[in-house]
Structure 1
Amino acid sequence: MEPHDALLDSPLDSLVIGAGQAGLAASFHLARLGIAHLVLDSAPAPGGAWQHRWESLTMQDVHGVADLPDAPAPPRSPLPAREVVPAYFADYERRHALPVVRPVRVDRVESEGELLVVRGHGPAGERSWRTRTLVNATGTWTRPFVPFYPGIASFAGEQLHTAHYPGAEHFRGTRVLVVGGGASAVQLLGELAPVTDTLWVTRRPPVWRDDDFDAEAGLAAVTHVEERVRQGLPPTSVVGVTGLALRPQEQRAARLGAYRRRPMFTSIEPWGVRWEDPPPGAPAREEVGAILWATGFRAAVDHLAPLGLRTPQGGIQLVHVPGNVQGATTAVRDPRVQLVGYGPSASTIGASRAGRAAASAVRRRLAPALA
Structure 2
Amino acid sequence: MTQSVDVVVVGGGQAGLAAGYHLRRLGVDFTVLGADPAPGGAWQHMWDSLHLFSPADHSSLPGRLMPTQPGETYPDAGHVVDYLADYEKRYGLPVQHGARVGAVRRDGDRLLVEADSGTWRARAVVSATGTWSRPFVPAVPGRGLFAGRQLHTVNYRRPADFAGQRVVVVGGGNSGAQIAADLALAGDVPVTWATRRPPRFLPDDIDGRILFDVATARRRALDEGRSDTGGVASLGDIVAVPPVRAARDAGLLDVKPMFPELTTTGVRWADGTRAEADAVIWCTGFRPALAHLAPLGLRGPRGHIPTAGTRAVAEPRLHLLGYGDWTGPASATLIGVGRPARDAAREIAALCAHN
Match among 63, 66, 74 for residue 53 of structure 2: 63
1:160 aligns with 151
Alignment partner of 1:355 is 2:341: yes
> Could you tell me how far 1:364 is from its partner in structure 2?
2.1
Shift, 1:240, TM fit: 5.9
Are the counterparts in 2 of residues 109 and 303 from structure 1 also a CA contact under 8 Å?
A: yes
CA distance in 2, matches of 1:248, 1:367: 50
For the pair 1:132 / 2:123, whether they are aligned, the reply is: yes
Give the partner amino acid of 1:161: H
**Alpha-carbon separation, structure 1, partners of 2:235 and 2:112:** 39
Residue 101 of structure 2: SS of its match in structure 1? strand
Q: 1:217 to 1:255 in 2, by over 3 A?
A: closer
CA distance in 2, matches of 1:329, 1:241: 26
Show structure 1 runs of 4+ deviating over 4 A: 76-80, 213-217, 222-228, 237-242
Matches within 5 A, 1:246-265: 246-265=240-259
Q: Kindly tell me: are residues 224 and 314 of structure 1, through their superposed partners in 2, closer, same or farther at Cα, counting changes over 3 Å?
A: farther
Give the Cα separation in 2 of the matches to 1:227 and 1:103: 41
In structure 2, C-alpha distance between the alignment counterparts of 1:214 and 1:350, rounded to whole Å: 10
Q: Write out per-residue CA displacement over residues 49-88 of structure 1, whole angstroms, 9 at most, x where no aligned residue.
A: 111111222xxx2123621222111324457834322222
1:43 aligns with 2:36: yes
CA drift of 1:137 comes to 0.8
Aligned equivalent of 2:169: 178
1:232 maps to none
What is the SS of the residue equivalent to 2:39?
Answer: coil
Counterpart amino acid of residue 138 in structure 2: P
Given the alignment of the two structures, is residue 339 of structure 1 paired with residue 332 of structure 2, yes or no? no
Does the 8 Å CA contact 1:199/1:258 hold for their aligned counterparts?
no
Alignment deviations for residues 18-63 of structure 1 (CA, whole Å, 9 cap, x no partner): 1111101101110111110100011111111111111222xxx212
2:226 maps to: none
For 2:193, the equivalent position in structure 1 comes to 200
Equivalent residue number for residue 4 of structure 1: none
* CA–CA separation in structure 1 for the residues paired with 2:262 and 2:221: 35
Residues 89-137 of structure 1 deviation map (CA, whole Å, 9 limit, x = unaligned) = 2222222111111211100111111110011114xxxx21110100111
Amino acid at match of 1:104: A
Q: Matched residue of 1:133: which SS?
A: strand
Asked if the contact 2:3/2:119 (under 8 Å) is kept, the reply is no
Alignment of 1:1-371 (within 5 A): 9-57=2-50, 61-64=51-54, 66-77=59-70, 81-122=76-117, 127-194=118-185, 195=187, 196-210=189-203, 211-213=205-207, 217-221=211-215, 241-276=235-270, 278=271, 284-319=273-308, 328-344=309-325, 345-369=331-355
1:9 CA drift (Å): 4.4
Q: Which amino acid aligns with 1:246?
A: A
Residues 133-172 of structure 1: CA distance to partner in whole angstroms, max 9, x if unpaired? 0011111111111111111011111111111112011112
3-state secondary structure, aligned to 1:181: coil
Is the alpha carbon distance of 1:246 and 1:90 closer, same or farther for their aligned partners in structure 2, counting shifts above 3 Å?
closer
Kindly indicate whether the alpha-carbon contact (under 8 Å) linking 2:211 and 2:232 is maintained by their aligned counterparts in 1: no
CA distance in 2, matches of 1:288, 1:40: 41
Deviation for aligned residue 1:201: 0.8
What SS does structure 2 have at the residue aligned with 1:147? coil
Amino-acid identity (%): 43
Contact persistence 2:100–2:116 (CA under 8 A): yes
Query: Closer, same or farther in 2 for the Cα pair 1:72/1:103, shift >3 Å?
Result: same
Q: Distance in 2 between matches of 1:343 and 1:290?
A: 30
TM-score relative to the length of structure 2: 0.86
| CA 1:9–1:184: 2 relative to 1, 3 Å | same
How far, CA to CA, are the matches of 1:365 and 1:310 in structure 2? 23
DSSP-derived class of the 1:291 partner: strand
Aligned equivalents of 1:115 and 1:245: distance in 2? 44
Quick one: distance in 2 between partners of 1:34 and 1:150?
54
Shift of 1:204: 2.3
Q: What SS class does the counterpart of residue 32 from structure 2 fall into?
A: strand
Gaps of 5+ in 2: 223-230, 326-330
**Partners of 1:67 and 1:73 within 8 A in 2:** yes
CA contact (8 A) 1:105 1:120 kept: yes
Structure 1 distance, partners of 2:281, 2:320, is 30
